[in-house]
A = this chain, B = another copy of it.
Amino acid sequence: MSTSRTSTPQTAGAGARSTLTRARVLAEAVALADSEGLGALTMRSLARELGIEAMSLYHHVASKEDLLDGVAEVVVREILDAVGALEPAPEDTPPAEWKHALRRRILTARSVLLRHPWAPSVLETRTGFSPYVVRYHDALVALLHRGGLSYDLVHHAMHALGSRALGFSQELFDPGGPGGDPAAAPEPDDEDLLARLTDEAPHIVAMLAEVAHVEPDSTLGWCDDQAEFEFGLDLILDGLERLAARGSR
């Protein structure tokens, strides 16, 4: 890797590999978060990974916050690419298919986020307007409006979807969920936990006893996140469809 000839006279113009760019910094940051968790993404560790010193990063990002903004942008762009590869533009989608088109887009977004489990917690904390996030949402708005929903209803719809629009929803009780640190699997002695639950939350225990995919006497197996996500999403989409059908609102 470039070892020899450190003083190559190349202008570092086009595809120079040895020169660091913001894009390369961000890519490495994403890779680091993927492999070591969000907590391991520090200026120092990122620099180490890139073979430079921490302070040198500041020539490519303004601050750690800016780094995280950039990282979020990379992820959203990845979503945009994935969606673009599968979906026609909103204008080329038959209006009547808005619901399925929306559904597919959102599930595609989700599939990208599943590759970056730490991403939701980063996206949650970015309140700014990344151009890519905006563009993504704009396509959803277009789809809904072309589907016949009034802008008023579209507006409500976007709020109702919330973070679901980007493919995630935070769930209370979700061990190892969107937290980011894969090493943090809180596993207190499940015996005690179940015993506590049984008298503190009898109805929950009764429910879990009945719902198929969990045997309450085993270690708490968790839910089928994908199925649950789709259930909630469909509940909202169906509700929107009904509201749309009975004339705007």
Which A residues fall within an 8 A CB radius of B? 123-129, 131, 133-135, 137-139, 141-142, 145, 151-152, 154-156, 159-160, 162-163, 165-166, 169-177, 179, 186, 188, 193, 196-197, 200-204, 206-208, 210-212, 223, 228-229, 231-232, 235-236, 238-240, 243
Which one of B159, B163, B179 lies within 8 Å of A223 (CB-CB)?
B159
A interface SS class: helix
Q: Which 6 A-B pairs have the closest CB atoms?
A: A160-B232, A138-B201, A159-B228, A235-B239, A151-B210, A141-B203
Q: List 30 A-B contacts (CB under 8 A).
A: A124-B124, A124-B172, A126-B172, A127-B175, A127-B176, A127-B177, A128-B188, A129-B196, A129-B197, A131-B196, A134-B204, A141-B201, A142-B203, A145-B206, A145-B207, A151-B207, A151-B210, A152-B210, A155-B207, A159-B228, A159-B229, A160-B228, A160-B235, A162-B169, A163-B170, A163-B172, A165-B172, A235-B239, A236-B236, A236-B239
Contact of A151 among B135, B172, B206 (CB under 8 A): B206
Most buried by B among A125, A127, A131, A137: A127
Q: How far is the CA of A231 from the CA of B152 in the complex (A)?
A: 12
Closest Cβ of chain B: how far from A68's Cβ, in Å?
13
Closest B residue to A184 by beta carbon equals B127
Q: What copy number does this chain have within its complex?
A: 2
